[in-house]
Chains A and B, each alone.
Chain A
Amino acid sequence: MSTATDTPGSAAAGEKKKAPAGERVADWADGRLGIFSLAKANMRKIFPDHWSFMLGEVALYSFIIIILTGVYLTLFFHPSMNEVEYHGPYVPMQGVQMSEAFASTLDISFDVRGGLLMRQIHHWAALIFLAAMFVHMMRVFFTGAFRKPREVNWLFGFLLFVLGMFTGFTGYSLPDDLLSGTGVRFMEGAILSVPIVGTYLSMFLFGGEFPGHDFIARFYSAHVLLLPGIMLGLLVAHLILVFYHKHTQFAGPGRTNKNVVGMPLLPVYMAKAGGFFFLVFGVISAVAALFTINPIWVLGPYRPDQVSTNAQPDWYMGFPEGLVRVMPGWEINVAGHSLVLGVFIPLMILPVVLGAIAVYPFIESWVTGDKREHHIADRPRNAPTRTGFGAAWIAWYFVLLVGGGNDLWATHFHLSINAITWFVRIGFFVVPVIVFVITRRICLGLQRRDRDKVLHGRESGTIKRLPHGEFVEVHEPLNQEQLHTLTAHEQYQPAEIGPGTDENGVERKVSRGQKMRAKLSKGYFGESGQIPKPTSEEYREIESGHGHH
């Protein structure tokens, strides 16, 4: 711990005149908090520049915006289900019986100064928060930034996404409007479909029969306290790990697995990130000021006897909606108890869809058997199988979103809703496979193109006629930096099971897991899984025999 700053002559000067105020404050704080060494270690932290590295920042900033506006909303929101009659300024609701939660949301929208804007910022920021987490997660996925040492941080991020979904869902339900009430009813149905414990869980959650008088207050504590509290903790851990691991970077000249090339946190990234925060805030505020979201005043208060079409959850809950919408309404009877498979099966598939992306890093590290650290981000094309899986997962997710919004697809594209349902049912199984195959092929094509560029240079577009009449296109060789960037990635060799017998001629035991791993590894890195990158020998040979193109 340094007790005094190293300013030359500070001791001598201190007697004559006091140190500047800033220095004294810093000194005071350092003596008590030890911030000097902390700052010294972290203020010069280097971050690489790439726009896709800022997607996580969008999520972080929208989360902060959500907290700020959320605090404002809590000042005026009444999480109560007491019945009141509305007498506020919005005419089409005057005299309507509603819960206090709904009435206070109307008040926030029409009576509280800035209330409607705050509500809309809060809600738009929530949609953008989840979307930003989604694309941030995809960036990490497609660049392989989840590999060692970042697997734990990948899980933290995944948990943040899932918790974000549920925080969003509970918040969406708070106004107690007809739309969100239908969503809560949907959730109740899903809980009820769970065998044996379903009814108990539902009774416990709603404090009796749905809707009861408790769930708004309960969702409220979950929404403003429990879930965001956990998320904040995870977020801090997520960021600490980013600092600890340092940021990944794309391959390039001077960039290795052991360094980070970029700009320091202070002052460059402080300024950039600070400015970016206000840009994000600005975009969200502009959207919120111009476009309405969740206009609860026209939705009306929740009543279990009413329902409307277009009753969908916010987009991040759209895929469970799709699962339930397209699932055939199967129901079986077991010993006098009905089991609603039409809801229970989708409920069980939901964690499978989410979990598929969460566990992928562990599957990949098992297949590669790679225990080394990776700090250089992959270009998606250089990991065709992974990229294929990622694209397939997105397609899977999107197919379910189509199912969740099937009515709007039907009305806007003049389709039959039944046809869409069947498309989703079949697409659920088929579309990911097709997307996987196509994406992998595109990646391999791009790898071939890179290989071609390295060995034969870039097509210049200049056509030259040779003396004997042949036309050739002049290829410009790449410069050294480009050559490095295109060949910096390493390529795995497919894992071998080894010979069937050991050195003594005794049959070796090969476990089923090993066999499977070898098979997967062959799929990943075998002949059909990647295009061998050009070696320096190949390059030199081509260079020496100039004239071959």
Chain B
Amino acid sequence: MKKLSARRRHPLAALVVLLFALAATGGLYTAFAPAGEAKADKGSSQSLAIEEGKKLYDVGCSSCHGTGGQGTSDGPSLVGVGAASVDFQVGTGRMPLQQQGAQAPKKKQVYDQDEINQLAAYVASLGSGPSQPTKKQYDPNGSDVAKGGELFRTNCAQCHNFTGEGGALTHGKFAPDLGDVSEKHIYEAMQTGPQNMPSFPDTVMPEKDKRDIVAYVKTVNSDKSESPGGFKLGGFGPVSEGMFAWIFGLGSMVAVAVWVAARTAKARKS
């Protein structure tokens, strides 16, 4: 005890106490937080899924989208948006919405895939829309990457940047980084046009073109993409390059200059 009291005025004491306090609060929270495992039973039939989806919808979505999906002043109508839309918005965590704003950002997803499917089934039952794509539809294996690149530069790059690093839109809206978006979600986004994105239905952009685009994005902007020139500094082009040249390039030059200038031919200081 004496040791402890001797150290209570140590400069780092406050930090240690803070760390303990944070650990304690965090631990208590995890112990008592409601476990998010209220899983609904898997419905065997479609109507059961719709029924379960409706229950989930009433709890999680209806306050903004209305009790029948007709929309309110806080959220748009969901009639005819289709299952693909629900799969994208809920699957990327954008829905349920955290707060009203320029755009819903991607966040940790709240519902698991079974629940999403039920919600999707319910929303699809409100009016016909694009359905969830099958793996065959979006799997980029064997697609034409070069063609995808051309399509991407023609249709997507003006908002998402050359390699899908994301970009700014007006009034705080933005085109997100596509780096960690799954193939399915990229495909669904093109199909349904979520948030501020235009939609590219199959009549405008055939399935194969969408697959090519998915293949291109996965080739140039994923964990496995190669960067032959070295670290890519975010891939944002000349702004990040210029900043790097100033801070690190010229910064090291100044450091080197200071070092060289400090070494004169004068008699050594002893």
Q: Tell me the minimal C-beta distance from A137 to chain B in angstroms.
A: 13
Q: Is the CB of B253 within 8 A of A128?
A: yes
Q: Tell me the minimal C-beta distance from A89 to chain B in angstroms.
A: 10
Mark interface residues in B143-162 (1 if CB within 8 Å of A CB, else 0). 01111111001100111111
B147, B168, B261: the one within 8 Å of A411 (CB): B168
Number of interface residues of A (CB under 8 A): 74
Q: Is the CB of A283 within 8 A of B249?
A: yes
* Docked CA distance A410–B149 (Å): 26
Segment of B57-65, B74-82, B180-188, B235-243 in the binding face: B235-243
Q: Is the CB of A276 within 8 A of B257?
A: yes
Q: Tell me the minimal C-beta distance from A232 to chain B in angstroms.
A: 22
Q: Is the CB of A292 within 8 A of B237?
A: no
Q: Which of B188-232 contact A (CB under 8 A)?
A: 216, 219-220, 227-232
Q: Tell me the minimal C-beta distance from B208 to chain A in angstroms.
A: 16
Residues of chain B within 8 A (CB-CB) of A279 are 256, 260
Cβ-closest chain B residue relative to A295? B229
Asked, given contacts A293-B229, A416-B172, whether A310 binds B239 with beta carbons under 8 Å apart, the answer is yes
* Docked CA distance A54–B258 (Å): 9
Asked, given contacts A128-B250, A295-B227, A414-B172, whether A309 binds B159 with beta carbons under 8 Å apart, the answer is yes
A57, A284, A295, A307: the one within 8 Å of B158 (CB): A307
Cβ-closest chain B residue relative to A282? B256
Q: Is the CB of A292 within 8 A of B175?
A: no
Is A92 engaged at the interface, CB distance under 8 Å to the other chain? yes
Q: Which of A39-82 contact B (CB under 8 A)?
A: 49-55, 57-58
Q: Is the CB of A298 within 8 A of B163?
A: yes
Asked, given contacts A92-B146, A283-B249, A298-B162, whether A292 binds B157 with beta carbons under 8 Å apart, the answer is no
A179, A297, A309, A406: the one within 8 Å of B175 (CB): A309
Q: Is the CB of B174 within 8 A of A116?
A: no
Q: Is the CB of B264 within 8 A of A49?
A: yes
* Docked CA distance A34–B254 (Å): 38
Residues of chain A within 8 A (CB-CB) of B261 are 49-51, 53-54
Is A334 engaged at the interface, CB distance under 8 Å to the other chain? no
Q: Tell me the minimal C-beta distance from A79 to chain B in angstroms.
A: 22
Cβ-closest chain B residue relative to A420? B168
Residues of chain B within 8 A (CB-CB) of A95 are 144, 146-147
Q: Is the CB of A124 within 8 A of B253?
A: no
* Docked CA distance A139–B210 (Å): 54
Cβ-closest chain A residue relative to B172? A416
Residues of chain B within 8 A (CB-CB) of A408 are 168, 236, 239-240
Residues of chain B within 8 A (CB-CB) of A294 are 238, 241
Is A493 engaged at the interface, CB distance under 8 Å to the other chain? no
Q: Which of A271-311 contact B (CB under 8 A)?
A: 272, 275-276, 279-280, 283-284, 287, 289-295, 297-300, 303, 305-311
Is A312 engaged at the interface, CB distance under 8 Å to the other chain? yes
Asked, given contacts A127-B249, A307-B157, whether A315 binds B228 with beta carbons under 8 Å apart, the answer is no
Mark interface residues in A119-162 (1 if CB within 8 Å of B CB, else 0). 01000100110011001000000000000000000000000000
Is A91 engaged at the interface, CB distance under 8 Å to the other chain? yes
Classify the interface of chain A: helix, strand, loop or mixed.
Answer: helix
Q: Is the CB of B230 within 8 A of A289?
A: yes
A92, A135, A315: the one within 8 Å of B219 (CB): A92
Mark interface residues in A163-204 (1 if CB within 8 Å of B CB, else 0). 000000000000000110000000000000000000000000
Range, interface on chain B: 35 or more
B165, B228, B258, B265: the one within 8 Å of A297 (CB): B228
Q: Is the CB of B239 within 8 A of A405?
A: yes
Is B100 engaged at the interface, CB distance under 8 Å to the other chain? no
Asked, given contacts A291-B230, A312-B238, A313-B238, whether A272 binds B260 with beta carbons under 8 Å apart, the answer is yes
Q: Is the CB of A310 within 8 A of B250?
A: no
Residues of chain B within 8 A (CB-CB) of A93 are 146, 149
Is B233 engaged at the interface, CB distance under 8 Å to the other chain? yes
Is B14 engaged at the interface, CB distance under 8 Å to the other chain? no
Cβ-closest chain A residue relative to B175? A309
B157, B220, B242, B249: the one within 8 Å of A92 (CB): B220
* Docked CA distance A287–B170 (Å): 35
Q: Tell me the minimal C-beta distance from A291 to chain B in angstroms.
A: 5
Is A415 engaged at the interface, CB distance under 8 Å to the other chain? yes
Asked, given contacts A309-B157, A417-B168, whether A51 binds B258 with beta carbons under 8 Å apart, the answer is yes
Residues of chain B within 8 A (CB-CB) of A314 are 238, 241-242
Is B245 engaged at the interface, CB distance under 8 Å to the other chain? yes
Is B53 engaged at the interface, CB distance under 8 Å to the other chain? no
* Docked CA distance A314–B243 (Å): 10
Q: Is the CB of B172 within 8 A of A415?
A: yes
Mark interface residues in A403-424 (1 if CB within 8 Å of B CB, else 0). 0111110110011111000000
Q: Is the CB of A179 within 8 A of B237?
A: yes
Q: Is the CB of A92 within 8 A of B216?
A: yes
- B153, B161, B244, B249 — most chain A CB neighbours (10 Å): B249
A178, A292, A309: the one within 8 Å of B160 (CB): A309
Residues of chain A within 8 A (CB-CB) of B229 are 109, 116, 120, 291-293, 295
Is A206 engaged at the interface, CB distance under 8 Å to the other chain? no
Q: Is the CB of A305 within 8 A of B154?
A: yes
Asked, given contacts A93-B146, A314-B241, whether A300 binds B153 with beta carbons under 8 Å apart, the answer is yes
* Docked CA distance A234–B252 (Å): 27
Residues of chain A within 8 A (CB-CB) of B20 are none
Q: Is the CB of B220 within 8 A of A280?
A: no
A52, A131, A292, A310: the one within 8 Å of B161 (CB): A310
Q: Is the CB of B174 within 8 A of A410?
A: yes
Is B169 engaged at the interface, CB distance under 8 Å to the other chain? yes
Q: Which of A459-501 contact B (CB under 8 A)?
A: none
Q: Is the CB of A132 within 8 A of B168?
A: no
Mark interface residues in A20-54 (1 if CB within 8 Å of B CB, else 0). 00000000000000000000000000000111111
Q: Is the CB of A411 within 8 A of B146?
A: no
Residues of chain B within 8 A (CB-CB) of A276 are 256-257, 260
Cβ-closest chain B residue relative to A128? B249
Is B102 engaged at the interface, CB distance under 8 Å to the other chain? yes
Q: Tell me the minimal C-beta distance from A25 to chain B in angstroms.
A: 27
Q: Is the CB of A309 within 8 A of B168?
A: yes
Asked, given contacts A276-B257, A287-B248, A417-B170, whether A179 binds B146 with beta carbons under 8 Å apart, the answer is no
Cβ-closest chain B residue relative to A415? B172
Q: Is the CB of B250 within 8 A of A410?
A: no
Is A542 engaged at the interface, CB distance under 8 Å to the other chain? no
Mark interface residues in A444-458 (1 if CB within 8 Å of B CB, else 0). 000000000000000
Q: Is the CB of A315 within 8 A of B245?
A: yes
Cβ-closest chain A residue relative to B263? A272
Residues of chain B within 8 A (CB-CB) of A287 are 244-245, 248-249, 252
Q: Tell me the minimal C-beta distance from B207 to chain A in angstroms.
A: 20
Is B166 engaged at the interface, CB distance under 8 Å to the other chain? yes
Asked, given contacts A124-B245, A179-B237, whether A283 binds B252 with beta carbons under 8 Å apart, the answer is yes
Chain B residues within 8 Å of A, Cβ to Cβ: 102, 144-150, 153-154, 157-163, 165-172, 174-175, 216, 219-220, 227-233, 235-246, 248-250, 252-254, 256-258, 260-265
12 A-B contact pairs sorted by A residue (CB < 8 Å): A51-B254, A54-B257, A93-B149, A95-B146, A132-B253, A268-B264, A272-B263, A291-B233, A300-B149, A303-B153, A309-B175, A406-B168
Question: In the complex, given contacts A309-B159, A310-B236, what are 4 additional A-B residue pairs having Cβ atoms less than 8 angstroms apart?
Answer: A55-B257, A308-B153, A315-B239, A411-B166
Query: Which 4 A/B pairs are nearest by Cβ-Cβ distance?
Result: A292-B229, A315-B242, A309-B167, A127-B245
